């Protein structure tokens, strides 16, 4: 995905990836160990899917098999270790939960690395870009996604790849986003128009459409396999998709409430306040100009996700690429941070 680079650049990227891992691993481990699964249908569903049980899984989550399948593969050697060290846990969900924690943390750290590269492409200093990654990964939703049996990490990675590809012109990054998007979540369909418009620098339309069709074919194949296995009617998934539009009224009411405002603020917490720097009367901040129409349209895609899901904070975290770039540019341009600790 990255251009040909020297050893020093590889060391820089490795350090950023380790930084992302370090920020996530501790808080996510606490989430993995102490989370109460009794009130989370999502996590219980993905644990069942990882065990190959699809019949009782809600149709909304039933076809998101990549992360559960990968977690199941990681869990197998972990079970052998558990059998020797903690035999009483070897037949429980603990190895599988640990596998989800390891996989999701690695994927989220990868998304953090892509955000770092994106911030640098927009003109942020390396130090500011690294701090932006820290700000994003400190979010409660980053910790939640990393520590629990969920599949959001792959979808966040897809969004990070998409935004990076549009800025860098990386055909490989865009191809991965187009291929994995359908498999990560069905709502990827709302990102497709953005990619077709702003991803042309990376891949021409015919090539984009080819990758889209390949990803769609793989997703359809998985749906057919799951439906055949459990005897589910294909029309069930269509009806479920249309039912999401019923969330619009609830989401709008929640968005305009005090609780909704607090939920949005909690996505990136007090790091939001940094974006207030640079606002002047009658003048837009420079980070708005830098992000331009691609950034504004990307936010619109995220808002659609928020309104249709009803989960404002969790879906709002998909705007992490926009926030990271804005935060890094504020640190670079307004605070003059070019080296860590040296404004």
When the pLDDT of each residue in the chain is averaged and rounded to a whole number, the result is 88
- Within a domain: residue 80? yes
Type and span of the H or E element at 133: helix 126-137
Distance CA(67)–CA(69), nearest Å, equals 5
- Within a domain: residue 342? no
pLDDT, average across residues 123-152: 95
- Within a domain: residue 1? no
- Within a domain: residue 2? no
Which of 274, 275, 254 has the alpha carbon at shortest distance from 264? Answer: 254
| Confidence label for 185 from pLDDT (cuts 50, 70 and 90) | very high
Looking at residue 37, its pLDDT comes to 74
Q: Map tokens 């903690």 to a residue.
A: 86
Q: What pTM did the predictor assign?
A: 0.91
pLDDT, average across residues 64-78: 93
DSSP string covering 67-78: HHHHHHHHHHHH
- Could you tell me which residue, 222 or 231, shows the higher pLDDT? 222
- Within a domain: residue 304? yes
Looking at residue 293, its pLDDT comes to 94
Which of 270, 267, 275 has the alpha carbon at shortest distance from 303? Answer: 267
| Confidence label for 188 from pLDDT (cuts 50, 70 and 90) | very high
- Within a domain: residue 198? yes
Distance CA(136)–CA(123), nearest Å, equals 18
Percentage of the chain surpassing pLDDT 90? Answer: 60
Q: Is 58 exposed, middle or buried (0-12, 13-18, 19+ CB in 10 A)?
A: exposed
Which of 24, 259, 44 has the alpha carbon at shortest distance from 144? Answer: 24
- Could you tell me which residue, 271 or 91, shows the higher pLDDT? 271
Looking at residue 342, its pLDDT comes to 44
- Within a domain: residue 120? yes
- Domain with 11 in it: 7-333
pLDDT, average across residues 14-18: 96
Q: Is the pLDDT of residue 292 over 50?
A: yes
| Confidence label for 239 from pLDDT (cuts 50, 70 and 90) | low
pLDDT, average across residues 86-112: 87
Count of domains in the chain?
1
Which of 151, 153, 180 has the alpha carbon at shortest distance from 165? Answer: 180
- Within a domain: residue 340? no
pLDDT, average across residues 185-213: 94
Q: Is the pLDDT of residue 189 over 80?
A: yes
Kindly report the number of other CB atoms within 10 A of residue 108's CB atom: 30
Computed on alpha carbons and rounded to an integer, the radius of gyration of the chain in Å comes to 20
Polymer length in residues for the chain: 343
| Confidence label for 203 from pLDDT (cuts 50, 70 and 90) | very high
């Amino acid at each position: 995905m990255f251009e040909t680079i020297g050893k020093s650049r590889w060391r820089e990227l490795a350090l950023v990836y380790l930084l992302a891992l370090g920020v996530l691993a501790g808080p996510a481990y606490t989430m993995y160990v102490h989370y109460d699964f009794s009130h989370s249908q999502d996590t219980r569903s993905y644990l069942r899917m990882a065990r190959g049980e699809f019949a009782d899984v809600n149709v909304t989550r039933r076809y998101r098999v990549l992360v559960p399948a990968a977690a199941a593969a990681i869990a197998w050697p972990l079970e052998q270790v558990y059998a020797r060290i903690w035999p009483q846990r070897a037949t429980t969900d603990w190895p599988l939960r640990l596998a989800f924690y390891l996989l999701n943390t690695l994927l989220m750290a990868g998304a953090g690395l892509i955000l770092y590269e994106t911030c640098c492409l927009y003109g942020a200093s390396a130090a500011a870009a690294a701090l932006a990654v820290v700000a994003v990964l400190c979010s409660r939703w980053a910790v939640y996604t990393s520590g629990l049996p969920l599949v959001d990490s792959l979808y966040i990675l897809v969004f990070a790849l998409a935004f990076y590809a549009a800025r860098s012109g990386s055909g490989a990054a865009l191809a991965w986003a187009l291929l994995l998007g359908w498999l990560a979540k069905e709502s990827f369909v709302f990102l497709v128009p953005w990619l077709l418009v702003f991803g042309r620098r990376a891949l021409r339309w015919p090539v984009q459409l080819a990758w889209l069709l390949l990803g769609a074919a793989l997703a359809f194949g998985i749906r057919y396999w799951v439906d055949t296995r459990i005897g589910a009617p294909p029309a069930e998934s269509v009806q479920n998709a249309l039912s999401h539009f019923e969330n619009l009224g609830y989401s709008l009411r929640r968005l305009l409430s005090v609780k909704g405002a607090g939920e949005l603020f909690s996505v990136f917490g007090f790091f939001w306040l940094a974006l207030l720097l640079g606002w002047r009367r009658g003048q837009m901040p420079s980070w708005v100009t830098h992000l331009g129409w691609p950034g504004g349209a990307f936010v619109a895609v995220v808002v659609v996700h928020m309104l249709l899901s009803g989960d404002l904070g969790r879906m709002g975290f998909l705007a992490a690429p926009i926030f990271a770039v804005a935060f890094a540019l504020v640190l670079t341009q307004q605070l003059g941070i070019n080296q860590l600790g040296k404004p």
